[in-house]
Amino acid sequence: MEMAEGSTGIEKYNRRTNSWTSVGTMTGRRLQFGVAVLDGKLHVVGGRDGLKTLNTVEAYDPSTNTWTQLSPMSTHRHGLGVGVLEGPLYAVGGHDGWSYLNTVERWDPQARQWSYVAPMSTSRSTVGVAVLNNRLYAVGGRDGSSCLRTVECYDPHTNKWTPCAPMARRRGGVAVGVISGFLYAVGGHDAPASNPCASRFDCVERYDPATDTWTQVACLSVGCDSAGVSLLGDRLFCVGGYDGQTYLNLVHAYNPQTNEWTQMAPLTNGRAGACVVVVKKEH
């Protein structure tokens, strides 16, 4: 099943009926947090609860509709990216309320503790994070002075970050997803801090790790940043987002075979900074 996180509500998508239903709420309001699935549970990492940046981590069990508090991160982070790579969960970059972060922490689900790994070469908040070919990719984001085109990838066996080819566009608030061996960077903005309502991108770029190159693919029907992106079946879903003025309830699905985006059933609420993950049902 597909779940979307934002504000305090959780919605579930049913692929057979192409419909969304509300299934639960978070224990507190959060913004700019990260979400990943470990052991069939939804892990909600960091974020903001208004003024305060959080280091707290909670796990939601959809089978029992219950929340469990886990050990907090060492660093308070909002605008972070998260990914699960070979078991552990990684919390990448973000902002601690004072400064932009290049630090990265890893949650070991066996030892149930956080530890720092090698930092990125660049500080990145509102960064897109995805796992492809046993590497963790950090895509775009903002380093304080500007939005970023740059991309780097982490190898857990060498504990090193390596630069990759940059995107064609600078993308803060970029959403990323992986399908069919390619990484996709969806939407985002290059808004200066002085003009936060500047236009959002509808363009989408695809990264090929074999050739270390980016290619532009079909655009979304609307420009947005802070969308949620997740693989579901053989489609890449793009959920919600912010167009500079409105929180969107739009949902699009990308077919890499035809290079087309199709509009799906909308969310029940407009959401930006929504985190979207697939939770596999236990058999």
Q: What is the C-alpha separation between 270 and 238, in angstroms, rounded?
A: 13
Residue 17 scores a pLDDT above 50: yes
* Model confidence pLDDT, tens digit, residues 171-186: 999 999 999 999 999 9
Q: Would you give the DSSP letter of residue 168?
A: S
* Model confidence pLDDT, tens digit, residues 208-239: 999 999 999 999 999 999 999 999 999 999 99
- For the segment 7-27, the average pLDDT, to the nearest whole number, is 81
Residue ranges and CATH numbers for the domains of the chain are 2-278 (2.120.10.80)
Q: Would you give the DSSP letter of residue 111?
A: T
- 6-15, 207-216, 260-269: lowest mean pLDDT where? 6-15
**DSSP string across 32-97:** S-EEEEETTEEEEEEEESSS-EEEEEEEEETTTTEEEEEPPPSS--BS-EEEE-SS-EEEE--B-S
Burial of 249 per CB tally in 10 Å (0-12, 13-18, 19+): middle
* Model confidence pLDDT, tens digit, residues 160-173: 999 999 999 999 99
Question: Mean pLDDT over all residues of the chain?
Answer: 90
Categorize the per-residue pLDDT at 8 as very low, low, confident or very high, splitting at 50, 70 and 90: low
- For the segment 175-204, the average pLDDT, to the nearest whole number, is 90
Q: What is the pLDDT of residue 23?
A: 79
Categorize the per-residue pLDDT at 62 as very low, low, confident or very high, splitting at 50, 70 and 90: confident
CA-based torsion, 130, 136, 142, 144: positive or negative: positive
- Enclosing H/E stretch for 160: strand 160-164
Greatest extent of the chain over all pairs of C-alpha atoms, in Å: 51
Q: What is the C-alpha separation between 153 and 197, in angstroms, rounded?
A: 30
Q: What is the pLDDT of residue 281?
A: 63
Q: What is the pLDDT of residue 171?
A: 96
